[in-house]
Chain A
Amino acid sequence: MFDFVKEPVLAAQDFFLLSGRALKNIFRRPHYGDDIILQMDTIGVGSLPIVVLIGFFSGAVMALQMSRALAQYGQIGRTGQLVSLTLVRELGPVLTAIMVAGRNSTGIASELGSMKVTEQIDAMRALGTDPVQKLVTPRLIATATMLPLLTIIADFVGMFGGFIVARFFLGLLTRQYWMSVWRGLEWYVDVTQGLVKPFVFAFVVSLVGCFYGLRTTGGTQGVGRSTTQAMVVATVLIFVIDLLLTKIFISTGGS
């Protein structure tokens, strides 16, 4: 009767089992340091240009939009406040995670999927290596390290984008804008929220990519399917978890 729920429930169970093994392996030998560094370069440094571009333009457009609304109340001087608040709490973590998901969840899914369909994963097991230890854990550690850092960069570049608009299109003074940015942030609440979110999103980005990659079947067509599924599921989960985290932060005393 409930056969239709069997497959998603089994998939969820497999996902949590994989996540558990990947986390447990962080504390177990052997550690593949070279792979972690390589993945940090691919995920972190490789994503930098797109994160900087998206951060800059989202900050700039936020400043333009907010200034229109604020102008109605004669509060255009508070543009920096709204830009920083929106970026640090929401746009920075979410947009960065989506960019990294688009670039790396898909990349991970297609790389691991190709390895799966060409029996390289089986060969790895046959030759004495745990694929979760060798492939999943380094990607998880690298993403959990790099995504918060990328988010900080995106936040800052976004504020700079807002500054360019405020200075050259809205006629605000440099000091006026940056003071407003500074005042807009409640450091403990906002910065904590702005860093916890990307840390949690990093688990989604890396583990969803690895999960769909490792369960790929059906040759090259299957690799394409896994890549698409990884992108869709990672993006949806980022928004769902963002809502949950925001609610938790607000309920626990954040403004």
Chain B
Amino acid sequence: MPGESREPALRFENVSVFFDDQPALADLTFEARGGQSHVILGAAGSGKTVLLKTAMGLIKPHSGRVLVFGEDISRMNERQLFDIRSRIGMLFQESALFDSLTIEENVAYPLLNQKAIHCPSCDVLPRVTRALEFVELGGTLEKFPAELSGGMRRRAAIARAVVTEPPLQMYDSPTAGLDPITAHTIMALLIKERDVSRATTLMVTHRYQDGNLMANFRYNSEKGSLEPARNGDRATARTTFMVMKEGRLIFEGDQDELEASHDPYIAKFFKQRT
């Protein structure tokens, strides 16, 4: 598969995070190789968001190591982390668009503020426009986040996450709180972004349908729509499923292995697929 690399883009080694002596992540070990997709399933409070924030260096692990593109970020200070973070795109659960900035300013924010990006000022607007057109929000540059619907805000946040074309992309519950049609549109955009950029993708969700789409559909650039991946593609599946429970990783494997699991907690996810 083009873009796939043996070098892990992200690696957790025995990572533990505690909040008020309660483990949010407990001895977590996994790795995401370049070009792979990881779907992280888990109930509310199972540590999914903490995992993404730890991978971004927003939360420091109490023990263990987090390696991003081979660099240990566990001991880095905030300024050292800025360079690493410029290579990661993150979609936050509540979109986290800046209320006081327009959509154009929001999407331009990483281009203007991430020192490692080096984007000439004349390139900012074309790249912002391109990113917003990618998420089909071309006409919203001057609007403020409060003027957009929940689904549109989520799409604008995706544009902000991918405008710098980061090689590692993380999505925190991208379809949470959206109606099924909008949720499908968001998933189609994420799959399109994955297949166009060939980036390593981590997606946190509690909806098995999202993982199923990620694993079994691909973006057809000629037709401009999603289509089921052919059997051959499925055989070389780049999608790994992980299941979190109370801060622990209790399953890691492909979709077939997941669906063969007899663990009632794991089965709960794929039995709700329809």
Contacts and interface: CB of A to CB of B under 8 A. Distances in A.
Interface of A: 114-115, 118-120, 122-130
B94 A128 contact: no
A123 B96 contact: yes
Interface of B: 53, 56, 58, 78-79, 82, 85-86, 88, 90, 92-94, 96-99, 109-110, 113-116, 160
A126 B58 contact: yes
A114 B99 CA distance: 10
B229 to A, nearest CB: 31
Nearest to A118: B94
Given A118-B94, A119-B93, A122-B92, A127 B109 contact: yes
Contacts of A114: 99
Contact of B92 (A119, A128, A129): A119
B191 to A, nearest CB: 23
B78 A126 contact: no
What secondary structure prevails in chain B residues at the interface with A? mixed
Contacts of A122: 53, 58, 92, 96
B172 to A, nearest CB: 9
Given A118-B94, A119-B94, A122-B53, A128 B113 contact: yes
Contact of A120 (B88, B93, B98, B113): B98
A128 B78 CA distance: 9
Nearest to B116: A128
Contacts of B90: 123, 126
Contact of B114 (A115, A118, A123, A127): A127
Contact of B56 (A118, A120, A126): A126
Nearest to A114: B99
B85 A120 contact: no
- Most B CB atoms within 10 A — which of A120, A123, A129? A123
A129 B92 CA distance: 16
B85 A123 contact: no
Given A114-B99, A115-B99, A127-B160, 14 more contacts: A119-B92, A119-B94, A120-B98, A120-B99, A122-B92, A123-B97, A123-B98, A125-B85, A126-B56, A126-B92, A127-B109, A127-B114, A128-B114, A128-B115
